[in-house]
Amino acid sequence: MKRILGIQGSPRGERSHSRRLLDHFLQALTAEQRDVEISRREVGRITLPPVTEGWVAAAFSKPHERTLAMHADLALSDELVGELLATDRLVIAAPMYNFGVPSGVKAWIDQIVRIGRTFDFTPEDPVNQYKPRVLGKRGLIITTRGDRGYGPEGVNARLNHADTHLRDVLGLIGITDVEVVAVENDEFGGMAFEDSYQAAQLRLAQLAVDF
C-alpha cells in the first residue's frame, strides 16, 4: 500500500484553487492507483504554533535527557514528523504569499525539520555536515500564484522564494525527487488563468497514474 500525505496550505476554503487542485489530484490518484491510503494535514486554516525557546531547548537536547515539559513542547512536532516519516508521497498545496509560502506552511516546516529526526548534523564531518533522514519518498508541490512569470525562465523567477524554499528544505531532509505544478495569473483571470489552470490539471492527471 502507498501512503500519500496532503498538506493543505491555503487559508481559503472553497475559494482556494490550490486546495481544489489537491482535492482533484487525490481523487484522481485514488481512482488510478487502488492500493493507496490518503491522509491530509491542515496547516492553512488553523494556527500551528511557532517554534518557542522551550521547543528549541527540547529539540537540541538528547532524547533521554528531555524532561516531561520538553516532551510536551515537542509533542506536535513529534506527531507531524511521525506523519511525514510514515508517508511514501508528500503533496504540498499552497499559494504563493509575498514571494514565499504562507505562514502556516512555514510553521509546518519549522515543526518537521528536526535534528536527529528528519536530518542529522555532524559538524565534525566537513564534507557532509548535513545528513538527510527522510529517504525514499517523492514530493509534489501544487502552487497557485496571482501574478505570472515565476517559472525558471520567467520574468519573475528571481522573486520566487516559495519553490526554492520548499525544494531546499525538502532536500535538506532527503526529499529530492520533487516536482512543482503551478497555476499562474489568478489575479488577471480570463484565458490567461484558465490556460494555466488547465495545463496544471493535465499534468496532475498524468501524475495521478504513477506518483
Ligand X SMILES: Cc1cc2nc3c(=O)[nH]c(=O)nc-3n(C[C@H](O)[C@H](O)[C@H](O)COP(=O)(O)O)c2cc1C
Instruction: List C-alpha distances in Å: 169 to 82, 87, 189, 196.
Output: 17, 17, 31, 26
| Identity of the residue, 10 or 118, whose beta carbon is nearer to ligand X in the bound complex | 10
Rule CB under 6 A: say whether 91 interacts with ligand X: no
| Identity of the residue, 95 or 139, whose beta carbon is nearer to ligand X in the bound complex | 95
- Whether residue 119 contacts residue 112, with contact meaning beta carbons closer than 8 Å, is answered with no
- Applying CB under 6 A, the span of 57-65, 71-79, 103-111, 144-152 interacting with ligand X comes to 144-152
- Whether residue 95 contacts residue 18, with contact meaning beta carbons closer than 8 Å, is answered with yes
Rule CB under 6 A: say whether 8 interacts with ligand X: no
Rule CB under 6 A: say whether 13 interacts with ligand X: no
Rule CB under 6 A: say whether 160 interacts with ligand X: no
CA angle centred on 90, ends 85 and 93, rounded to 5°: 135
- Whether residue 159 contacts residue 34, with contact meaning beta carbons closer than 8 Å, is answered with no
Rule CB under 6 A: say whether 27 interacts with ligand X: no
Rule CB under 6 A: say whether 145 interacts with ligand X: yes
- Whether residue 81 contacts residue 116, with contact meaning beta carbons closer than 8 Å, is answered with no
Out of 39, 98, 122, 164, which residue is the one contacting ligand X (CB under 6 A)?
A: 98
- Rounded to whole angstroms, the Cα distance separating 28 from 190 reads 26
Rule CB under 6 A: say whether 19 interacts with ligand X: yes
Out of 59, 81, 96, 134, which residue is the one contacting ligand X (CB under 6 A)?
A: 96
| Identity of the residue, 123 or 189, whose beta carbon is nearer to ligand X in the bound complex | 189
Count of residues engaged in binding ligand X, rule: CB under 6 A: 16
Task: Report residue 78 as a C-alpha cell.
Answer: 513529534
Residue 132 host element (H or E):
strand 130-132
| Identity of the residue, 87 or 144, whose beta carbon is nearer to ligand X in the bound complex | 144
| Identity of the residue, 132 or 154, whose beta carbon is nearer to ligand X in the bound complex | 154
Considering only residues 29 to 88 of the shown chain, the ones binding ligand X according to CB under 6 A are: none
| Identity of the residue, 45 or 66, whose beta carbon is nearer to ligand X in the bound complex | 45
- Rounded to whole angstroms, the Cα distance separating 58 from 23 reads 36
- Whether residue 121 contacts residue 115, with contact meaning beta carbons closer than 8 Å, is answered with yes
- Binding stretches for ligand X (CB under 6 A): 10, 12, 16-19, 95-99, 144-147, 186
